[in-house]
Amino acid sequence: MATRSDIAASPVKGGAAPGRAPGSRSADKDDKRRAKLSRRWQRDARWSPYAFVSPFFLLFAAFGLFPLIYTGWASLHQVELTAPTDMNWVGLKNYTRIFDDDFFWNAAQNTLTIGIISTVPQLMIAMGIAHILNYKLRASTFWRVAMLAPYATSIAAATLVFVLLFGRDYGMINWALGAVGIDPIGWQDDKWPGQIAVSTIIIWRWTGYNALIYLAAMQAIPQDLYESAALDGASRWRQFLHVTLPSLRPTILFTVVVSTIGASQVFGEPLLFDPNKGASGGAEHQFQTLGLYLYEQGWVNQHLGRASAIAWTMFAILIVIGLINQLISRRLRASS
């Protein structure tokens, strides 16, 4: 990495100024000045990098790291929303309490299934779209921007629109299904339809975004890889399998991790998709996610300590996912 600019020549102004005989008094003075400037310059070069990165780390420590650790501390206490500063030590009781709660396991399962049915199709469609966008196209910018339009929509607006589209009696989707002879589906009432509907909102908002990420990675693949594959007689499909996909492995891994983190946090969609707009994720908790369960425990039932325990459980799950990801990417790197 060529980053040695800071050890460039000493920047003393007018160092080689003419008209100063060596040994004269002014040169002496000049030397001192030069030394002083040089010291200041060195100090500057040495410490300014830390000054440049410190605002980020200070703010991150205050609003990211400290709260994360404090959440762990709070999870070992009984804390009520009404008096968030009164903390009673209860040890691991919050954890045993939530692990005994059927709704926790229900929420964990829903988070997993919604995560899978939103992430897998999303990334596969994104890959296909990226492949097409990678052709030479007329108005390519127009297509890319149009794909990204859902990304501009907020969770709140998008969910409210989809609530109407997925309406049981007058929703457009059931109407379209009725046109091909399928009975109306209770999207907000039943388990799988509810989870599919919530996932649809997520897929709709994020597919274009992921397609652009894949497209960027595809454009970085060297052209001659395709040429030599073609000379070997590989069909387009085989080129996609044997050139495109392997080259995209790091990017795919990246999008999987980012989508997984996103999926573990799903909150607004099931909250607003619930006909009662409550925290239970449908009357039967059929699409209550962990994020929603956390909110219900903390802000509806007012048990902040228990909510903290949920947050830390989620954190632990993410760390495990991160480690698995590390393992996979290391293995991939070793094999390639």
Partner 1 sequence: MTPPETPIVKEQKRSRLPKSARAGGTLHGGPLAYAILAVFMIVSLFPLVWTAIAASRDNQRLAENPPPFWFGSNLFKNLEIAWKDANLGEAFLNTTIVAGTSAVTIVVLSTIAGFAFAKLRFKGRNALMLVVIGTMMIPPQLSIIPLYMMVAKLDWTDQLQAVIFPSLVSAFGVFFMRQYLLQALPDEVIEAARVDGASSWRVVWHVVFPAARPAMAVLGMLMFVQAWNDFLWPFLVLTQTGNPTVQVAVAGLGRGYTPDQSLIMAGALLGTLPLLLVFAIFGKQIVGGIMQGAVKG
Number of residues in contact with partner 1, rule: CB under 8 A?
Answer: 127
* 23 vs 270, beta carbon nearer partner 1: 270
Q: Does 51 bind partner 1 (CB under 8 A)?
A: yes
Chain-centre distance of CA 20, in angstroms?
62
- By CB under 8 A, residue 307 contacts partner 1: yes
Which of 90, 163, 198, 202 touches partner 1 by CB under 8 A?
Answer: 163
Q: Which is nearer to partner 1, 179 or 334 (CB)?
A: 179
Q: Which of 29, 44, 105, 182 binds partner 1 (CB under 8 A)?
A: 44
AA identity, residue 61: A
Q: Looking only at residues 247 through 306 of this chain, which bind partner 1 when binding is defined by CB under 8 A?
A: 250-251, 254, 257, 261, 264-265, 267-268, 272, 277, 291, 295, 298-299, 304
For residue 324, how far is the Cα from the chain centroid?
17
Q: Give yes or no for a contact between 230 and 223, defined as CB atoms under 8 angstroms apart.
A: no
Secondary structure (3-state) at 34: helix
In the complex with partner 1, which residue's Cβ is closer, 117 or 163?
163
For residue 25, give the 3-state DSSP assignment. Answer: helix
Give 130-138 contacts, CB < 8 A, sequence gap 24+: 130/211, 130/212, 130/213, 130/214, 130/215, 130/218, 131/214, 131/218, 131/240, 131/244, 133/211, 133/215, 134/215, 134/218, 134/219
The answer to whether 3 contacts partner 1 (rule: CB under 8 A) is yes
Of 327, 312, 276, the closest CA to residue 75 belongs to: 312
Sites for partner 1 among residues 52-111 (CB under 8 A): 52-53, 55-57, 59-60, 63-68, 70-71, 74, 79, 84-85
The nearest distance, CB 150 to partner 1, in angstroms, is 5
Say how far residue 52 (Cα) sits from the centre of its chain: 25
Q: Does residue 294 contact residue 310 with C-beta atoms inside 8 Å?
A: yes
Q: Which stretch binds partner 1 (CB under 8 A): 23-31, 111-119, 190-198, 239-247?
A: 239-247
Residue 120 within binding range of partner 1, rule CB under 8 A: no
What Rg, from alpha-carbon coordinates, does the chain have?
29
Residue 100, classed as helix, strand or coil, is coil
Region of 322 (left: φ > 0; alpha: ψ -120 to 50; beta: rest) is alpha
49 sits near partner 1 (criterion: CB under 8 A) = yes
Question: Which is closer to partner 1, CB of 25 or CB of 276?
Answer: 276
Q: Which is nearer to partner 1, 23 or 243 (CB)?
A: 243
State which of residues 107, 196, 279, 314 lies at the interface with partner 1 (CB under 8 A).
Answer: 314
> For partner 1, what does the binding mask look like between residues 174 and 193, x meaning CB under 8 A?
-x------------------
Q: List CB contacts of 222: < 8 A, sequence separation 6 or more.
A: none
Q: Please give the residues from 197 up to 236 whose contact with partner 1 meets the rule CB under 8 A.
A: 204, 208-209, 212-213, 215-223, 226-227, 229-231, 234-236
Question: If binding is defined by CB under 8 A, does position 9 make contact with partner 1?
Answer: yes
